[in-house]
Amino acid sequence: MMQKVRHQITLFLPEAASQLVESVRAVVDPVQASLIRAHVTLVRDDELPQISPETFTARLDLPIDQRSPLELTFAGPSPSVDHGILMHCASELAEFQALRCRLFPELQSKSMKAHITLAHPRNPKAAGNSPQNLRPLANGLTIKFRQLALIQQTGGQPWVTLKTVDLF
């Protein structure tokens, strides 16, 4: 039986922010933390056009004059569906949307709300999924993203990075 393969374009948190967020994710949802590093999804798998891998990779190679870090501010953790927990983007999303559309012009009419998933509702609720374990992130975060990544998941396995591109 063939396993489903998914792709997405992701902004992984840089090291300093990642350490703090990962320490919380490991407690509030160890399953999600084991599948994928802390990140912001730029283009979901269901939004990616059906194009050849070569064309897909070429789209990620933005010209130097179109590359710049993307700074986003995230509010403190808030509950999502069931026992999910998200950090919603509190920044203006114009640059985020512009980056999506530079990579995939066909997404011009589709906006996306940036967020960081701390606990995913599809995973079992972890014993550590409680408000006191979210305190280190209570004041939110401002993060400067300097890379984007093409990632892939096969079946329910952890996501793997296929390609990274610098944004600066």
Instruction: Report the distance separating Cα 73 and Cα 107, nearest Å.
Output: 23
pLDDT for 147 equals 92
* Residue 52 pLDDT exceeds 70: no
Task: Evaluate the CA torsion angle 144, 148, 154, 159 in order and state its sign.
Answer: negative
Q: How far is CA 16 from CA 78, 111, 115, in A?
A: 22, 28, 18
Q: Percentage of residues in the chain with pLDDT exceeding 70?
A: 96
Structural domains of the chain ordered from first start: 5-166 (3.90.1140.10)
Q: Is the pLDDT assigned to residue 1 strictly greater than 80?
A: no
- The shares of helix, strand and coil residues in the chain, as percent rounded to the nearest 5, are 30, 30, 40
Considering the chain, what is the average pLDDT of its residues?
91
DSSP bridge partners of 115: 88
> Per residue in 62-81, pLDDT tens?
778 878 899 999 999 999 98
Confidence bin at 111 (pLDDT 50/70/90): confident
Q: Say yes or no to pLDDT of 85 above 90.
A: yes
Q: What is the pLDDT of residue 47?
A: 87
In the numeric block, the tokens 């530079």 are attached to 102
116 pLDDT above the threshold of 90: yes
